[in-house]
Chains A and B, each alone.
Chain A
Amino acid sequence: MKNGYFQTRIRGIYKYISENLYLNRPDISIKDESFNSTLLFGLLTGLNRGKELIIGEPGLGKTTSAEYVGSILYRYPLGVIWGSEVSGHPEQTEEKIIGRPHLGELNKGKEKVVWSNFAQIPVKIVDEINRLPETKQSMILNGVDRGNWEYLNEILINDEYSLFATANYQDRGTNTIIAPLIDRFDILIESRHPGSNIAYTIGKEALSHNPLRHPQYEKELQQILRGENPYEEKMALAEGVCDLFGEYIKETLGIEGLTKEERRTINEERMALDYDVDANAFVRMALAELSFCHKFGQKRSVEVCEDGCHYTGYLCHHIKNCASNRLPMSIRNYAQTLAWFLEDDGVDLEHIRLVIPYVLAHRIQWKDSYLSKKEGEGRNDPFQIYLVKEATEEIFQRYSEQREYLLEAFSVGYRAFAGEAITPLEGDHPIYEEIKKDIGAKDEKSL
């Protein structure tokens, strides 16, 4: 994977946004390179058609970072993206979010849907999603998850999209994001304060005009989206305008967005990257700790783990809920995209360790006792992300101690599953019990 053509362009986009539009400090590093997490993961979300939840204090660039990334990657002028955003407030309706009946046709007695821009364009931004009441959040579940939007008896299916949702911290007027919706987000990222020096620069050098706006192309796109053509035709027409906008930003800003075909190619390239053995084993080990319960068969949020269980040293004792199957999918998507971006030959442990905290932070429900122990500790990240970073390091320590033995256990598991009469290896970690379950061996540890 040493071609690097697309990667160079994406790096160019990263550089441009970080130097001109979303000024911030690097806060993560991987393979001796430093990045700003919000911008990096925003790009990765745009590349792998992910769903990102961005949290942060008001006015720290949550929405703007998503707008810039979406605009450049998908080559939609900023005005179109602004016009397509759904803002979270209690009076939002299905008609404003998804679509409405065509009033003229309705008066003639015909049902025809006018889809909202939000439902149509591939860059979907929901601003302050936690201000949507829970019923409204439920309404957009299917759309958020699969890109399927239904209204009256019609359905619109997005063949590609990325979703960015922003949320402030809890205050008066906010609600919780319902559990099914929050599980559908791939990652949680914080948009941080850039520090006083960079903040001053932002104030001083605020642009008089936004370089990603183009009124003419915006108008053309609005007309296309408002038009009466079938969705597929609209998107093909829109792609034509996006090509023009892409040329425009290449000429004026020196950066190249991606065509639909290029995005598809990138997606294929990144999906071809496989996990190395360590990454594979580590993810399994982490998943075991997040889903295992010796007493009750699996973690369930309604079943409380008691003190005195043999496994109190593992994460399963500190959490309330079980990891969903979306978790490994999100890990894979982002780790692969990250490895692709860095031009690595495959996904290794370093990619996984970087990605897991952001993928897991919003999905995990910690026990109160664990929260209260940790909340006083000094940190550089929001508490949710900090907890998972700590947890990831704990799991990593366990992994590095027993790596050889664990790999051998998997190897034995392979042979046993294939029918060989071989005794599975015993070990303290829940993963060994999971291996035994998979090969049908009996669990003889007493409850």
Chain B
Amino acid sequence: MEIEDIIQKLWSGVRKKHLYPQLPLPTVIEGGEDVALEIKSKQLAISSAFYEKLKGKMDGEEIVEAVLDHGITHYMYCPWDFHTHITLYNEAKKVVRQKDQAQRATSYFMDVVTDTYCVKEKDTKIATLYKNLPKTGVHEVLAALYEKIWGEDLGTGGHEELVNRLSRIPYLERKRWRESIRKFTEVIQGILEKEVANEQQSSQREPNPMGEHSLENYSLEEIDRGLREFASAVEELQEFKETVEDLKEELEGKGYSAGGMGRGKGNAIDANLLYYMKLAESYTLPIRKLPIEKRGYLHPHAHKPWEIGKPFADIDLWTSFGKIIPGITQIWTKREGETHGEFEGTPDCLIIIDSSGSMINPREKLSYAVLGAICACNAYLKHESRAAVYNFSDALRGNKVVLEFNHDKERIYQAICRYFGGGTALDPDDITYLLSCAKKPDIFIITDMQITNLEKLIDFFKKIENRVTAVHLGTNVHTARFKEGTEKRKNISLFNVKNKEDIPKIVLGKVKEYLTSPSEGR
């Protein structure tokens, strides 16, 4: 088939031009008349119908090369990865406040960046391709923009005011893409609204002739990594939440769930949970390596020359060749062998987290207390231990979550993220019950210490031998009382956190200490 032959002929040259992208040989799809290119999981596919349509106006090889240039540059330059894609979408959404419009704005912006980069940096026929493509709506404006910024005649014009503003955007400065897409979206907002309205009326969508940009382009691993980077980069929890909620359908359709990838449709994605999960992945502890330990017996280690006066028992007759002569005779030096040992059991972990009214609601704002708790859980779960959660507000009135020890990450996160926002009282019986379910688990308690029955808590901690790390925010009479009450207990560490951003690091520091020196009696 003609296109396939052309692809075969051009592919190595095009790859070389774009510095050898790790993409398989593009294929051809039948039909797909209005769309030049499809990209699914890094597989480029050129539409034969599109090719046939344009063949009369352009050389066949030029069509294929231009389309490949476009597709490869999306992969190699913009957006490059899923994180960049959703960051751009997030910025566009801040302007238009509507998912559909934001997706289109993102798509058009990425096309402008990609094609401009190609035209400037590579030898490409993209301009000729655009000259021969139909131009309506936004594409007409973009074609006029290309005329101005590329200096090519594309047979269009007009839209001077819009084009003037669009032409001032630094498309090729990656560091300014966030600001640039906002400006871009502002300028084309009116046209986007019209486009969406027209499509709603005609119930037919005008496809982007150069192909759409959807989550189909990315693998689950890329999506997972992109979400992690996005969670670390956003300023507000709400931004992450909004973006994930927008993309929920597509993510679930791809089989991505909060519990992990590759588990089919699974549970619906909870954006809040996903946020803390991804953020916690930036605060991790390495898995404990096998300890080097002594084996307890001596073994021959190396030779050294025998000297008169040294014992005969350790002479190595073979290496001495049967001779007892200084300079020839060698003796063994023995050493206690070292080898990789085995892991001792890692204790389980009980998280006690305060979700009273004085603590931040983790579903509205980033709660470092919740993040710290999740980091601790992750560290223990990674070492194949279990975690339990006691989330309390006014526990005596039932505002509590008592989750027993288990390995289920999603359940644990949900328990930690639960927010009551009521009074502050815990029930020591609940803690006693949980402690009885495991063998001397470590305890992490994160609170602002404004607990109405604090004395009960202090008495409780005085009686237990478990390792306890208490992290509290701010200093008040209650924290002083807690400190005083537990000062003499060597198994209790108390941390007063001034910057709440330090909570995860403090928690992890303590976890690391615990895991490298397991407690006695295990």
Instruction: Please give the residue numbers on chain A whose beta carbons come within 8 Å of chain B beta carbons, in ascending order.
Output: 31-32, 90-91, 93-95, 101, 103, 106, 133, 135-136, 170-175, 278, 348-350, 353, 368-369, 371-373, 375-378, 396-397, 399-401, 403-404
B433 contacts A by Cβ under 8 Å:
no
B44-82 vs A: 1/0 string, CB under 8 Å?
000000000000000000000000000000001100100
Q: Find chain A residues with CB under 8 A from B341 CB.
A: 172
- Bound-state Cα–Cα, A135 to B316, Å: 17
B302 pairs with A170, CB closer than 8 A? no
- Bound-state Cα–Cα, A279 to B227, Å: 32
Cβ-closest chain A residue relative to B333: A135
A349 pairs with B318, CB closer than 8 A? no
**A172-B341, A372-B286, A373-B281 known; A397+B80 contact, CB < 8 A:** yes
Q: Find chain A residues with CB under 8 A from B225 CB.
A: 377
Give A53 Cβ to nearest chain B Cβ, in Å: 19
A372 pairs with B20, CB closer than 8 A? no
**A353-B20, A400-B19 known; A368+B321 contact, CB < 8 A:** no
Cross-chain contact of B302 among A135, A377, A397 (Cβ < 8 A): A135
B314-328 vs A: 1/0 string, CB under 8 Å?
001011010100001
- Bound-state Cα–Cα, A175 to B339, Å: 6
Give B297 Cβ to nearest chain A Cβ, in Å: 12
Closest 10 pairs between A and B when the two form their complex, measured CB to CB: A372-B284, A350-B20, A372-B286, A368-B286, A135-B302, A378-B221, A371-B286, A172-B339, A173-B339, A349-B20
Give B44 Cβ to nearest chain A Cβ, in Å: 14
**A170-B290, A348-B16, A349-B19 known; A91+B300 contact, CB < 8 A:** yes
Cross-chain contact of B19 among A278, A373, A377 (Cβ < 8 A): A278
Q: Find chain B residues with CB under 8 A from A378 CB.
A: 220-221, 224, 261
Cross-chain contact of A93 among B285, B303, B339 (Cβ < 8 A): B303
Cross-chain contact of A401 among B16, B77, B287, B323 (Cβ < 8 A): B77
**A368-B286, A378-B261 known; A90+B337 contact, CB < 8 A:** yes
Q: Find chain B residues with CB under 8 A from A371 CB.
A: 286
Q: Find chain A residues with CB under 8 A from B15 CB.
A: 350
Give B164 Cβ to nearest chain A Cβ, in Å: 28
Cβ-closest chain A residue relative to B21: A400
- Bound-state Cα–Cα, A368 to B283, Å: 11
**A90-B337, A170-B340, A400-B76 known; A377+B221 contact, CB < 8 A:** yes
Q: Find chain B residues with CB under 8 A from A348 CB.
A: 16, 20
Count contacts on B: residues with CB < 8 A to the other chain: 43
Instruction: Please give the residue numbers on chain B whose beta carbons come within 8 Å of chain A beta carbons, in ascending order.
Output: 11-12, 15-16, 19-20, 25, 76-77, 80, 121, 174, 220-221, 224-225, 261, 281-282, 284-287, 289-290, 299-303, 316, 318-319, 321, 323, 328, 337-342, 382
**A32-B25, A373-B281, A400-B77 known; A135+B286 contact, CB < 8 A:** no
A373 pairs with B121, CB closer than 8 A? no
- Bound-state Cα–Cα, A103 to B19, Å: 62
- Bound-state Cα–Cα, A368 to B338, Å: 23
Q: Find chain A residues with CB under 8 A from B284 CB.
A: 369, 372-373, 376
Cβ-closest chain A residue relative to B20: A350
Q: Find chain B residues with CB under 8 A from A404 CB.
A: 121
Cβ-closest chain B residue relative to A106: B321
Q: Find chain A residues with CB under 8 A from B340 CB.
A: 170-174
Cβ-closest chain B residue relative to A373: B284
Q: Find chain B residues with CB under 8 A from A278 CB.
A: 19
Q: Find chain B residues with CB under 8 A from A376 CB.
A: 281, 284, 382
A103 pairs with B282, CB closer than 8 A? no
Cβ-closest chain B residue relative to A399: B19
Q: Find chain B residues with CB under 8 A from A397 CB.
A: 80
Give B296 Cβ to nearest chain A Cβ, in Å: 13
Cβ-closest chain B residue relative to A428: B175
Q: Find chain A residues with CB under 8 A from B382 CB.
A: 376
